[in-house]
Amino acid sequence: MSSTTNSTHHTSTIGAIGAPSRRNTELALLVFAVVIPVFAYANVGLAINDQVPAGLLSYGLGLGLMAGVGHLGVRKFAPYADPLLLPLATLLNGLGLVIIYRLDQSKLLQSLPNFAPAAPRQLLYTALGIAMFVAVLIFLKDHRVLQRYTYISMFAALVLLLLPLVPGLGADVFGAKIWIRVPGLGTLQPGEFAKIVLAVFFAGYLMVKRDALALASRRFMGLYLPRGRDLGPILVVWAISILILVFETDLGTSLLFFGMFVIMLYVATERTSWIVFGLLMSAVGAVGVASFEPHIQTRVQAWLNPMREYKLSRQITHDGILHSDQLQQALWAFGSGGTLGTGLGQGHSDLIKFAANSDFVLATFGEELGLAGVMAILLIYGLIVERGVRTALAARDPFGKLLAIGLSGAFALQVFVVAGGVMGLIPLTGMTLPFVAYGGSSVLANWALIGILIRISDTARRPAPTPASNPDAEMTQVVRPS
């Protein structure tokens, strides 16, 4: 009893004095996160035009102002949040802007029809993303409120996923039906927002059902097999991911959603058997769809033999298939970059053409910053995922734990799917690299994702409130021997 009293009194003392909020650490890291892209921006201008770019000051001030707004939002509305998430996201976003600006300077890309500089629009998307980030912190006072909308979020996610299939609204971009046309904004990718909404649904659903899903009926080859009636949820999500793959011909989104659900299911139940089932079902589904869906078959063929696709893209073929040389060009970009790269602004990744600043933006990093630069970028992504998982471990409520692990898992899967596709590890998926690639939907959705993680970490790290003074407890403190 006395030890309990002591710990309670100790906590109340910390709460009274105030736990370290680490906001000054965050501010110091943000300075580096702004200075590094500004230095890279100057480097690009010197390499291409032999002079410091004219927009250097406005770029530096703009990025610094946006980072400052994000920091003030965290300091005001989430003072105990993780100090690394915001600087890491800012650094990635800033470097992405630099690479997009560098590709805008390419004479080859400027000669393409419908060329328009992408960097100014990406800067606008970044400003909107920071605004959404702050809005999440202001209006989402407590992440547990989201639990009330478990089934509403499921409905909202399905609507978002079905929007690209609506005639007149959906847009077919190079075979993938994952876009919608928005007047004045161009195209948006609803799947980017659906991953956040689905994470809310999965977290709410699994929190209630985890005990039933953890029950095992029999043991087979060292694995506890789930009961037949408990396989329902994973079968439903598997079916939805297959339907996305079939109707929207989008391998990346279906892998992302199903993978996120399996990760959250494993964390909720601690049953390895769910991971095995998930991997088997995703493999069966992907192979099954690839056997009859031409668009997926084309991507698999390009993955298996990129040099053949490169040659076919330079010939007149009559097979009705749009052959692409992009993957082979990306592999050549990685190869020419070597260990340390050719230097910013001195590569030839613009040969990838229109997708160089979106799907294949990592190839520019690989060529101009080399293996060292790509490893640094992947390390930053790894740190964001690690801080998300740490937030999940620190969360005091099961819903917060599952939501944080779901968002972190979705983020990690997206990076793996995109980087793996560009490097030739898996077939290309058409998804965008978070914060780095050109695209408004991705920037907005991922800033919202970081905002939710910061809200959960603030709740988890916030010191317990000071309890009302208890004379008996104080007296116990005095008489206890040291």
The alpha carbon dihedral of 149, 154, 158, 160 has a sign of positive
Q: Output the six-digit token pair for 302.
A: 């390009």
Q: Is residue 247 packed enough to be buried (19+ CB in 10 Å), middle (13-18) or exposed (0-12)?
A: middle
Residue 84's pLDDT is: 95
d(CA 46, CA 52): 5
Residue 64's pLDDT is: 94
Q: What is the Cβ-side half-sphere exposure of residue 19, based on CA atoms within 13 angstroms?
A: 17
Q: Output the six-digit token pair for 330.
A: 């990306």
d(CA 180, CA 203): 27
Residue 32's pLDDT is: 95
d(CA 81, CA 143): 13
Residue 14's pLDDT is: 35
User: What is the length of the chain?
Assistant: 482
Residue 3's pLDDT is: 43
Q: Which amino acid is at 270?
A: E
CA-closest candidate to residue 288, choices 328, 251, 325: 251
Q: Which amino acid is at 186?
A: G
pLDDT of the chain along its 482 residues, tens only? 444 444 444 433 333 344 577 889 999 999 999 999 999 999 999 998 888 888 889 899 999 999 999 999 999 999 999 999 999 999 999 999 999 999 998 888 888 888 888 888 999 999 999 999 999 999 999 999 999 988 898 888 888 888 877 776 766 665 566 667 766 666 778 888 888 998 999 899 888 887 777 776 666 666 666 666 666 777 777 788 777 777 766 777 778 888 888 899 889 888 787 788 788 888 887 777 777 777 677 778 888 888 888 787 777 665 656 677 888 888 999 999 999 989 888 888 888 887 788 888 999 999 999 999 999 999 999 999 999 999 999 998 999 999 999 999 999 999 999 999 899 888 887 788 999 999 888 899 999 999 999 999 999 988 877 665 555 554 444 444 44
Residue 173's pLDDT is: 62
Kindly report the three-state secondary structure assignment for every residue of the chain. CHHHHHHHHHHHHHHHHCCCCCHHHHHHHHHHHHHHHHHHHHHHHHHHHCCCCCCHHHHHHHHHHHHHHHHHHHHHHCCCCCCCHHHHHHHHHHHHHHHHHHHHCCHHHHCCCCCCCCHHHHHHHHHHHHHHHHHHHHHCCCHHHHHHHHHHHHHHHHHHHHHHHCCCCEEEECCEEEEEEECCCEEECHHHHHHHHHHHHHHHHHHHHHHHHHCEEEEECCEEEECHHHHHHHHHHHHHHHHHHHHCCCHHHHHHHHHHHHHHHHHHHCCHHHHHHHHHHHHHHHHHHHCCCHHHHHHHHHHHCHHHHHHHHCCCCCCCCCCCCHHHHHHHHHHHHCCCCCCCCCCCHHHHHHHCCCCCHHHHHHHHCHHHHHHHHHHHHHHHHHHHHHHHHHCCCHHHHHHHHHHHHHHHHHHHHHHHHHCCCCCCCCCCCCCCCCCHHHHHHHHHHHHHHHHHHHHHHCCCCCCCCCHHHHHHHHHCCC
- Non-local (6+) Cβ contacts of 82 within 8 A are 22, 387, 390, 391, 453, 454, 457, 461
CB-based contact 138:210 (threshold 8 Å): no
Find residue 180's DSSP bridge partners. Answer: 170, 188
Dihedral over alpha carbons 235, 241, 245, 250 (to 10 degrees): -160
β-bridge pairing 170-173 and 223-226: unpaired
Q: Output the six-digit token pair for 364.
A: 């520019």
Whether the predicted model's global pTM rises above the 0.75 cut: yes
